[in-house]
Amino acid sequence: MKICLTLLLAVLSLTVSAQKFENLAKTPPMGWNSWNKFACNVSEDLLKNMADAISSSGMRAAGYEYIVIDDCWHGKRDSLGFIHPNPEHFPSGMKAVADYIHSKGLKFGIYSCAGNKTCAGHPGSRGHEYQDAITYASWGVDYLKYDWCNTDGLTTIGAYTTMRDALYSAGRPVVFSLCEWGNSKPWEWGKNVGHLWRTTGDIYNVFDGEVNHGTWSSWGVMKILDMQKGLEKYAGPGHWNDPDMLEVGNGMPVNEDRAHFSMWCMLAAPLIAGNDLATMSKETHDILTNMDVIALDQDTLGIQGFQFTTLEDSIQVYAKPLSGGEVAIAFLNRSKKSQAISFYWQATVIENEGTGTKLALKEKLYSIRDLWTKKNLGTTAKALKAEVPSHDVLLVRLTGK
């Protein structure tokens, strides 16, 4: 049996042309992941509850489609080396969980690691890549987050390419999320390997800060935002920079959650919620389901937004060109006090070498819409005068008249 299995895996790897699945993640993936809120406290009941919550809350209608279980779902490998879920936490088996999620019109994502063990110490995929890919396909997996712990002696490109090939050989289209924390500059090589790649270490729920763990750090929202500078040229349909999952609803004030969500949408980042969807507040719900803001993230042009100027007193100004000649502009107030701004559209030129953007706003008249208050703010014929609260954002969409 073992010899036959080995031959089968070898034939699969040799006869399938190695590549990633195309025509997936043409816009940044949207969904939910268990790690930020629940860490290792995962079970089939949790996944079903989150699938129910996405369906009933309007999040599915807003575009969230992936339910992704992170680390700690694992049981043991059997005598042939195939992985099984923890039978205590997943008594029905993982295929039954996937079937339930699919019955809600959603897609199912799972987690593994390129090393011998996952970051939480469970069986990793090293040496079992093709077996795991076959198993995931049989379960109905649609998305794989692939981590980088316990990988001594491996190279990132080699390990991630091996799993890419294994997924393709198994035949079920899977969005492949590379999670090696940006250490080997995956934006330079990841386009042909995966659909998204982490650009930094892990996020945590603070507006601006760092937690040093010795050999690695967790980063606040603004620290991660700063690390995206210069990466915009690598993003586009089917291949996205991933500044990590959302912390909206996990303890920051509403204004900071709003700024966090706004800037991730400006970055064309994957929108992977990480809160308890079943108990979220109305304020959290309203942020996560703001269709006008989500539309920036999901714009089919697929350009990652970029900072193009700074106003006095810590106001950073970002632009994101959109399809149809429209433009999103974010005024981000990073200071601890409210700031008044006067912004002269007619004197503004937006330039970014990475995205090939060069736009003089005086060449066209635009109407201005505030995407959070839903109010029209006139046109670009006159200067914009506004107050931007502390740790908050004024986010507008410019539409040609």
Residues marked as catalytic:
147, 202
Spatial distance between the Cα atoms of 25 and 18, rounded to a whole number of angstroms: 19
Query: Is the separation of the CB atoms in 72 and 32 below 8 Å?
Result: no
Q: Which two tokens stand for residue 334?
A: 């990073």
First CA to last CA across the chain, in angstroms?
A: 69
- Cα 195 from chain centre: 10
Spatial distance between the Cα atoms of 136 and 286, rounded to a whole number of angstroms: 34
DSSP string, 84-145: EE-TTT-TT-HHHHHHHHHHTT-EEEEEEESSSB-TTSSB--TT-HHHHHHHHHHHT--EEE
Spatial distance between the Cα atoms of 380 and 310, rounded to a whole number of angstroms: 19
Phi, psi at residue 244, to the nearest 5°?
A: 90, 175
In this structure, the dihedral spanned by the alpha carbons of residues 271, 276, 279 and 283, taken in order and rounded to 10 degrees, is: -30
Which residue reads 């080995």 in tokens?
Answer: 6
Report CA-CA distances (Å) from 210 to 8, 45, 92, 207, 392. 47, 33, 40, 10, 20
At a CB cut-off of 8 Å and minimum separation 6, what does 356 contact?
A: none
